[in-house]
Structure 1
Amino acid sequence: MTCLAPTDTSISLPTGLVIFDCDGVLIDSEMIASRLLAEALNEVGSVITATEVHVRFTGGSRGEMLETCRNELGIIAAEEVIARWEARLFPTFHAELQPVPGIEALIAGLDRPICVASNSRIARLENSLGRLPLRAVFGEHVYSAEMVARAKPAPDLILHCLTRMGVPAHEAVMIDDSPHGIEAARSAGVTAIGFVTPGDPRQDRAEVLFAAGAVAVAYSTLELARLLGS
């Protein structure tokens, strides 16, 4: 399929399963997480801003975060830093976390199967998405990278979703704000739509998502709803 602008209604998308990434697509969690991680990193002497954390860490698995801390920031006790960050993250989510604006209305307008495919660990999903009423609409179909051998960008999690939902790849669409998720979807044979979370500070985000294989990029849930026909 040809990459098209999100307002171009000529694009033809599968009309079956919609697989949603979680952070930055369903929940407005990423800047909260980046702020808290920047604080934890600064406490051990790594001078880094929340925006820089957002650019370098967002969308990666926990293992990739640890690798970045060790290899790029030179933090020996990376596991301790990430554990400290996670301990602060869940209470802050409880106090501050909100759905991405408009996502609840979008999902309510979909007359098709839906599920979640997230690189987040199960505990984080329970303490983020699980704290919001939005969690209930997905029932048992919230899938974590902990459930498979390899996180996104490997296709394992997307293939797991397809198996559990009983849907062939050509009938599914994946919505993700990270090139990892776009690559995972494409590797699994699933059509991928990029999403740029309102307020995302990263430059040229749409171009990055298109380069990863997105057939379209939405800049709001209204644009995403038009693409999905909801």
Structure 2
Amino acid sequence: MTTSPYDLVIFDCDGVLIDSEPLASRTLAEILTEAGQPFTATEVLIAFTGKSESQIRDMLRAHGLVELDPLFDAWQARLFTAFAQELRCMAGIEALLDQLPQRLCVASNSTRLRLERSLGRTPLWDRFAPHVYSGAEMPRPKPAPDLVDHCLARMQSAAARAVMIDDSATGIRAARAAGVRAIGFVAPGDPRPDRARLLRAAGAHDIAHGCAALAPLLLCAQAPDAPLEEGPQTCPE
């Protein structure tokens, strides 16, 4: 039996624990199109995945949108309705969590309210609470290391004994900046081209296509006192 040298697994939320990215992208694309800035759901997914609300606001200002408060209020209302009606856990995530002996926490750029209305609607909330942390409550959201550093402090874990899973370049950069091993996650059916390559370019040490591919990376990971080498890790025989 192989024992993982990691004692903390940090999960991003949207697009890793819950299959929320299609819902968020679709509803934001609808709101932006209605506001006179046509976007497709895929364009929103590519442009805004992993960004905090403040970062998305800055990007929309660059597109010439000024009245953002009503736009975000409308998006939140439509998104929360979609969460209530359509949100699902990521395929395979509960089976994965059942296998993990490590302590777990969530590091998301979503606001606390959005986390409660999304992850909080699923059985996963009780597996992580109270260790669900929001980048909106940090001085700087991901890609800065503040949120990951906060997780390490609250969970009383050294960076070398932690690993983080994120589906965005933003999150991968945050993990690397905090000295934590980073796993890039690609959800089944993700429509974005070259996702694995982009996550690797952001600094991901490993890439997992779906939850089943995470188990060997989390249970048979590289020893914490070894250098953070690039490339996939395998279980010893």
TM-score by length of 2: 0.89
Partner of 2:216: 226
Asked whether the 8 Å contact 1:154–1:184 carries over to 2, the reply is yes
Q: CA deviation at 1:14?
A: 4.5
* Residue of structure 1 equivalent to 2:42: 51
Match of 2:127 among 122, 129, 137: 137
Q: Deviations over 1:190-224 (max 9, x none)?
A: 00000011121111111111111111100111111
SS at match of 1:133: coil
Please point out which of 108, 117, 142 is paired with 1:118: 108
Establish whether residue 34 from structure 1 lines up as the match of residue 25 from structure 2.
Answer: yes
| Counterpart residue identity of residue 15, structure 1 | Y
Of 172, 176, 179 in structure 2, the residue corresponding to residue 189 of structure 1 is 179
Q: Which amino acid aligns with 2:128?
A: F
- Which of residues 41, 61, 78 in structure 1 aligns to 2:68? 78
SS for the counterpart of 1:19 is strand
Is the 8 Å Cα contact of residues 194 and 217 (structure 1) preserved in structure 2?
yes
2:203: which partner in 1?
213
**Are residue 23 (structure 1) and residue 14 (structure 2) matched?**
yes
Report the Cα distance in structure 2 between the residues aligned to 1:16 and 1:214, rounded to whole angstroms.
19
The residue type paired with residue 205 of structure 1 is: R
| Alpha-carbon RMSD | 1.4
Q: Which runs of 4+ in 1 moved over 3 A?
A: none
Identity of aligned residues (%): 55
Question: 1:14, 1:147 → 2: CA distance?
Answer: 30
Q: Deviation per CA, 1:112-157: give whole Å up to 9, x if none.
A: 1010000000000000000111110112110011221110000000
Q: Secondary structure at the match of 1:33?
A: helix
- Offset at 1:78? 2.2
**In structure 2, C-alpha distance between the alignment counterparts of 1:135 and 1:66, rounded to whole Å:** 28
> Counterpart of 1:60 in 2: which secondary structure?
coil
Q: Does 1:89 align with 2:96?
A: no
Answer yes or no: is the 8 Å Cα contact 1:14–1:191 preserved in 2: no
Higher mean displacement: 195-204 or 153-162? 195-204
Contact 2:52 2:136 in 1 (8 A): no
Q: Could you tell me how far apart the structure 2 residues matched to 1:49 and 1:211 are?
A: 25
Distance 1:78 1:199 in 2: 31
- 1:154-173 alignment runs, 5 A limit: 154-173=144-163
Q: Distance in 2 between matches of 1:50 and 1:220?
A: 21
* Unaligned stretches of 5+ residues in structure 2: 221-237
Q: Do residues 60 (structure 1) and 51 (structure 2) align?
A: yes
Name the CA distance, whole Å, in 1 between partners of 2:13 and 2:150.
16
**Residue 58 (structure 1) shift:** 1.2
**Unaligned runs of at least 5 residues, structure 1:** 1-12
For 2:207 and 2:70, the matched residues in 1 are separated by 37
On the 8 A contact 1:170/1:189 being kept in 2, the answer is yes
* 1:29-74 deviation per Cα after TM superposition (whole angstroms, max 9, x unaligned): 0010100001101111111111111111111010111111110x21
In the alignment of these two chains, the number of paired residues is 218
User: Is the CA contact (8 Å cut-off) linking 1:183 and 1:212 kept in structure 2?
Assistant: yes
- Measure, in 2, the Cα distance between the counterparts of 1:69 and 1:199: 27
User: 1-side partners of 2:72 and 2:186: how far apart?
Assistant: 26
Give me the whole-angstrom Cα distance separating, in 2, the residues matched to 1:179 and 1:164: 24
